[in-house]
Structure 1
Amino acid sequence: MMTELPVDQVRTLLAVVDEGTFDAAAAVLHVTPSAVSQRVKALEQRTGRVLLVRTKPVRPTESGEVVVRFARQLARLERDARAELGMSGASEPTRVTVAVNADSLSTWFLGALTRVPQELRLCFELRREDETRTAELLREGLVMAAVTSSADPVAGCSVRALGRMRYVAAANPDFAARHLGGPLPDALATAPVLAFDRDDDLQDAFVRGLRGRRHGTSQVRHHVPASEGFAEAVAAGLGWGLVPEVQARPLLNAGRLVPLAPERTVDVPLYWQQWKLDSPALAAVAKAVATTAAETLRG
């Protein structure tokens, strides 16, 4: 049982993962590297699992990720308890780590954080990641909460629907006249296209939906891994792309973008996942996020 794991061994494993080596963890814990190694081995014997891959830096195995996540949750509960008891160190700000996708970060998420009561004295550490991969950071115990496209809760986490982020296919007017004069499905498949990064499949899926075939977009692909930069690159005529509706609207109104298929938008469902902890800090952040999402995203 997880509750039977020795706290000193669990904390030692976390220190090794965070610091990257046994020697660095020993320096942080003020013990010898031999003591660190013995604690980790003892924990592996107790669990009957290999918890670390001994590389440089070390990395947790799948079983190790479970223990690391438990260790971070345990530390969070301890800090909350110390704060409620008014113990030493309780005056330090509480750090909340969240994984969030770039488009949410650039459009509505920061507004949510401003709604968190300032008297809670929270420090936010945001990890920007694609919404299809933010759950991985949660699973690895690297963050306490995440905006994700997955409705399946990570083990030990709760999940709630936030709404849908709408995207519109758009292009610079001159670009559209030059590259998109023929039938739209075929034209989009050969015209230069923008993608967030190599893992971004949004544009390809859009073209596949139009053509009814497996083939995606052009081989002329520009990667722009920044939400604001992506929208500006489309407006500048570098290629066509799917732009968040809230970013596209002013550019469309200004004539810098034209819609390519107004009747065919793309909605990406977003969810909030967080550790199942009775933590005032997490509860306050979750409330602010849900409230702002309800005002900003589509239901």
Structure 2
Amino acid sequence: MDLHLEQLRTFAAVVDHGSFEAAARRLHVTPSAVSQRMKALESTIGRVLVERAKPARPTPSGRVVLRLARQVALLATDAFRELGQDSVDPAADPVEFSRIPIVVNGDSLNTWVLPALAAAARERVCVDVYREDQDHSVELLRQGTAMAAVTSDSRPVQGCAVRPLGRMRYWPMASPEFLRTWLPEGPTVEGLSRAPMLVFDRQDDLQERYLRRRARRAWDPPCHYVPSSGDFPEAIRLGIGWGMVPEQQRVRYPAGTLVPIDPEVVVEVPLYWQQWRLDSRLLDVLAECVAAAAAESLDQPGSERPGPRKSGETGG
């Protein structure tokens, strides 16, 4: 197959920006040029690569070619930077061409990942962050949407390498007033059945896993959804409900503001970095920045901290 770099880059832009028109604006060409490039690429491959929907989505065949497009783009950027050029195409946007799409769960993004991205930015690595639950992030790797991910899955996606990052510790927290109102006798089965619960989104099962440790039964407490990592502990502080809070956020609040409803239990979530197996300086720099930030902020394998007994559960 005779695949052209501009065609692969155009295909990635269509997927990333959701339409031919948006890709044309990003690439500084006409929609007609985008359409012609896509027709030529699909003709060469012999498959339909993108669903003409809103937003545009890659077909199963398109996902394979999308992985290739991202790999070629990254390796081309690496090579031309070594040659002292910012881009393989003088008319192209060098930031757009060298951007690395990654998947990060909300809690990590709100607590320890941003310093890693800042360190990578100083090395001229640009990222495109997708927020996804750590138990589901590997799907974006399989699709070719992302090149790397923070995930709780230690099983490598095909074509990916895995390295452990450490463990996030989650505590069941509430405000003092909430405890006096709803759990005056502590985390009893009766109390937890009635006490309002905060959940991040429909994929978040940390609270349910904690409840199952209290009793193997069906739980159906009142439930509030707050899909914002930054606002989640604030909603707990305001007394809306109780919820699982990572240690990195818990320590940001003054003593006594958020208190554990069950001082005997902490839930640990192991995190891993998965990235495509690709000989790329930019991707390696990003991986080292993420690993360094994790080493400073997360519990490392084999380390022990004084505190409550630990749960063997992992969470969303």
Shorter-chain TM-score tier: 0.7 to 0.9
Distance in 2, Cα, partners of 1:76 & 1:37:
20
Matches within 5 A, 1:1-299: 4=1, 6-7=3-4, 10-21=8-19, 28=27, 32=33, 35-36=36-37, 38-45=39-46, 50-87=48-85, 89=87, 92=94, 94-116=98-120, 118=122, 120-182=123-185, 184-213=188-217, 215-218=218-221, 220-251=222-253, 254-299=255-300
In 1, the alpha carbon distance for the partners of 2:109 and 2:159 equals: 25
Question: How far does residue 40 in structure 1 lie from its aligned partner after superposition?
Answer: 4.3
CA–CA separation in structure 1 for the residues paired with 2:86 and 2:235: 51
Q: What SS is found at the alignment partner of 1:127?
A: strand
Listed one character per residue, the Cα deviations across residues 111-168 of structure 1 (whole Å, up to 9, x for unaligned) are 22344483x3233332222212322333333332211112122232211111110000
Contact 2:137 2:149 in 1 (8 A): yes
Q: 1:274 to 1:223 in 2, by over 3 A?
A: same
Look up the equivalent residue of 1:236 and give its one-letter code: L
Measured after TM superposition, the shift of residue 16 of structure 1 is 3.8
**CA spacing shift, 1:110–1:21, aligned 2, 3 Å:** closer
How many residue pairs were aligned?
289
Task: Give per-residue Cα distances to partners, 1:153-199, cap 9 Å, x unaligned.
Answer: 22322111111100001111111121113552332232111111222
Offset at residue 226 of structure 1 (A): 1.8
| Aligned partner letter, 1:254 | A
Does the 8 Å contact 2:167/2:299 carry over to 1? yes
What is the CA-CA distance between 1:284 and the residue it aligns to?
1.4
Q: Quick one: which amino acid aligns to residue 111 of structure 1?
A: P
Q: Tell me if structure 1 keeps the 8 A contact 2:125–2:286.
A: no
Please report the RMSD computed on the Cα atoms of aligned residues, expressed in angstroms.
2.8
SS at match of 1:228: coil
- Judge conservation of contact 1:22–1:36 (CA < 8 Å) in 2: no
Does structure 2 conserve the Cα–Cα contact (< 8 Å) formed by 1:165 and 1:298? yes
Report the TM-score, using the length of structure 1 for normalisation: 0.84
Check 1:211–1:157 CA distance in 2 against 1; reply closer, same or farther (3 A cut): same
Deviates more, 1:5-14 or 1:140-149: 5-14
Identity %: 47
Which ranges of structure 1 fall in alignment gaps of 5 or more residues? none
How many angstroms does 1:271 deviate by?
Answer: 0.8
Could you tell me which runs of 5 or more consecutive residues in structure 2 were left unpaired when the two chains were aligned.
301-316
Distance 1:22 1:117 in 2: 29
Q: How many Å separate the matches in 2 of 1:238 and 1:99?
A: 29
User: SS state of the match for residue 231, structure 2?
Assistant: helix
Tell me if structure 1 keeps the 8 A contact 2:10–2:34. no
Q: How far apart are the structure 1 equivalents of 2:201 and 2:73? A: 35
For residues 100 and 137 of structure 1, the distance between their equivalents in structure 2, rounded to whole angstroms, comes to 11
Distance 1:282 1:207, change over 3 A: same
Conservation of the 8 A alpha-carbon contact between 1:22 and 1:37: no
| CA–CA separation in structure 2 for the residues paired with 1:19 and 1:115 | 26
More helix per residue: 1 or 2? 1
